[in-house]
Amino acid sequence: MFTFRDNVILLLSWDKPTDTLAALFIYCLLCLYPKLLLLIPHIIFINILITGYNKRRQQQQQVSSSGSSKRFEHFTATLFPAFDESSPEYLRNMQNLQNMMGEMSDLYDLVASNAHHVDWSSEGKTMHIFQATLVSFFILCFTIWLIPLNIIFLVSGMCAFLLNTRFTKYLLKELMPKLTDVGQSQFNSILQWYLQLEKNLNDQANIQEMSLYENQRWWSGSGFVPHVKKERCKFTLFAYHCLTDAS
């Protein structure tokens, strides 16, 4: 498993450009013709047989032909050798296991430190995350329906290969600060617009109590009448805010 992971990292890092180009060509071929994936189990099994045969032929010891069980055990030991505890391979595997345990521990700490975003301890923040997830879900459904899945995998895989080239890394190093600032400003503006829209919708949904006052003037002989002069409006809110006839 660790050997496979290291080989994938070497392919993506363009350590050997010829091998990386070959892997990129095979990946593009599989994306364009997905039916070729059905051949992968046979190719893996054939590779196991050829590898075991080569390892067996390279050994200098004599192969005993006393029984089929011994031949099977010998083939298994040749294909998957058991290393001694003091061998470099065994120590390398132990180091990889310790590194993997450390990575899993760091991943757990990262998830635990951000769990408050989704445990509804802050209903407003969790609701925003839930809404964003729903929006991205429908966008993804529309994208999958509009664009074939093999094209999505093809573009994603090519981006993974191309982003690890030296030229792309140099461009990202030079442009990333500017792109980060522009993206952050755009995100903040969209977030402020959304929060203001949500606030306006909440204000419209809430029922507010208001007091309306009719201004009248007292006249001798007729008492209070709604006729007022220009110094005061006919209706006011809380005796301060003037309401015109149109409102």
Residue 85 pLDDT greater than 80, yes or no: no
The per-residue pLDDT for 217 is 64
* Tens of pLDDT, residues 179-214: 889 988 998 898 888 888 888 877 777 776 776 666
- The label of the residue with tokens 């809380």 reads 238
Residues 6+ apart with CB under 8 A from 14: 20, 164, 165, 166
pLDDT-derived band at 232 (thresholds 50, 70, 90) equals low
The per-residue pLDDT for 39 is 92
The per-residue pLDDT for 223 is 59
Residue 67 pLDDT greater than 60, yes or no: no
The per-residue pLDDT for 91 is 83
Quickly count: other Cβ atoms within 10 Å of residue 31's Cβ.
21
Residue 68 pLDDT greater than 60, yes or no: no
pLDDT-derived band at 79 (thresholds 50, 70, 90) equals low
Cα atoms found within 13 Å of the Cα of residue 136, Cβ hemisphere only? 6
- Domains of the chain by residue range: 1-60+89-164, 166-201
Q: Which helix (H) or strand (E) holds 51?
A: helix 40-58
Sign of CA dihedral 135, 138, 140, 143: negative
Distances (CA, A) of 9 to 4, 5, 146, 206: 9, 6, 32, 56
- Average pLDDT of span 27-44: 91
| Tokens, residue 178 | 């500017």
The per-residue pLDDT for 246 is 41
Considering only 32-36, 87-91, 226-230, which range has the smallest mean pLDDT?
Answer: 226-230
pTM comes to: 0.62
| Tokens, residue 94 | 């132990």
The per-residue pLDDT for 247 is 43
The per-residue pLDDT for 137 is 94
- The label of the residue with tokens 């760091």 reads 106
The per-residue pLDDT for 110 is 92
Residues 6+ apart with CB under 8 A from 151: 31
DSSP-derived pairing of the beta strands 217-219 and 241-243: unpaired
* Max Cα-Cα span within the chain: 134
* Tens of pLDDT, residues 110-145: 999 988 888 888 888 888 889 889 999 999 999 888
The per-residue pLDDT for 234 is 58
Question: What is the edge-to-edge ordering of all strands in the sheet holding 235-237?
Answer: 212-214, 235-237, 241-243
Residue 26 pLDDT greater than 70, yes or no: yes
Answer yes or no: are the C-beta atoms of 48 and 79 closer than 8 Å.
yes
Helix, strand or coil, per DSSP, at residue 102: helix
Residue 22 pLDDT greater than 80, yes or no: yes
Considering only 53-57, 75-79, 156-160, which range has the smallest mean pLDDT?
Answer: 75-79
pLDDT-derived band at 239 (thresholds 50, 70, 90) equals very low
- Mean of the per-residue pLDDT values of the chain: 79
